Amino acid sequence: MPNAARWAATLTLTATAVCGPLTGSALAAPHTAASGLYAPSAFVMTVGHGEYAALATPERAVTLNCAPTASGTHPDPVGACAELKGAGGDLDALPVRIGALCTKQYAPVVVTVDGVWQGQRVSYERTFANECVKNSYGSAVLTF
C-alpha cells in the first residue's frame, strides 16, 4: 500500500473511531453554522442577606437565558437581557435608576451572577447597602 493510501486509510479509521460511522442523517443533511449555532448567554443569579456570598444563605435564585431568546425564571427576562446587551454584558456598567429614594439603613444584600455572556465566563458578586439600593441598579437585571 503506498504511503498516501495508508495515510488516507488511517485518517478514515481514526475519524470513524472518534466520530462514528457516517450514516443516515449525517450524510443526508450536514449542519451549517447558520443552523442555530450561537454563543451562549445564560446565568444563575442569587440574592441573600449578608456582606459576602460565602457567608450568606441564598434566599432567592433565578435563571436567565439571553441567547437564542430571552427566557428563564427571572421575572423580566426580556428587559434584563436588553439591559445586559446595552451594557455589553458588563454587570458593573448597568444603568442606575435616577431618583431612587432609599433609606440609609445598613442591611447588606449580596448578589451573585455565574454563567456565560456571549461565550465568555462570568462570575460576579456585589454587596449593596440594602434591598432598595440593589433594586436601583440595573432596574431589570438585578430586580428578582
Is there a domain that residue 143 lies in?
Answer: no
Better-scored residue on pLDDT, 137 or 25: 137
User: Rounded to whole angstroms, what are the CA distances from 6 to 10, 69, 121?
Assistant: 6, 48, 43
Residues 79 and 124 in one domain: yes
- The 10s digit of each residue's pLDDT in 117-140 is 998 999 999 999 999 988 887 778
Domain count, the chain: 2
Residues 25 and 92 in one domain: no
In degrees and rounded to multiples of 5, residue 49 shows phi and psi of: -90, 130
Residues 80 and 43 in one domain: yes
Residues 26 and 84 in one domain: no
Residues 23 and 60 in one domain: no
- Residue 43 pLDDT class (50, 70, 90 cuts): very high
* Domain that includes residue 22, residue range: 1-30
Is there a domain that residue 142 lies in?
Answer: no
Residues 118 and 61 in one domain: yes
- Is the pLDDT assigned to residue 51 strictly greater than 90? yes
- The 10s digit of each residue's pLDDT in 76-122 is 999 999 999 999 999 988 887 777 788 899 999 999 999 999 989 99
What is the 8-class DSSP label of residue 122?
A: E
Residues 126 and 61 in one domain: yes
| pLDDT (mean) for 27-49 | 71
Q: What is the separation of C-alpha 81 from the centre of its chain, rounded to a whole number of angstroms?
A: 10
User: Rounded to whole angstroms, what are the CA distances from 9 to 5, 12, 131?
Assistant: 6, 5, 65
Is there a domain that residue 84 lies in?
Answer: yes
Sign for the pseudo-dihedral over CA of 57, 74, 128, 52: positive
Residue 41 near residue 66 (C-beta atoms within 8 A): yes
Is there a domain that residue 2 lies in?
Answer: yes
Element counts in the chain: helices (H) and strands (E): 4, 4
- Is the pLDDT assigned to residue 33 strictly greater than 50? no
Burial of 74 (0-12, 13-18, 19+ CB in 10 A): buried
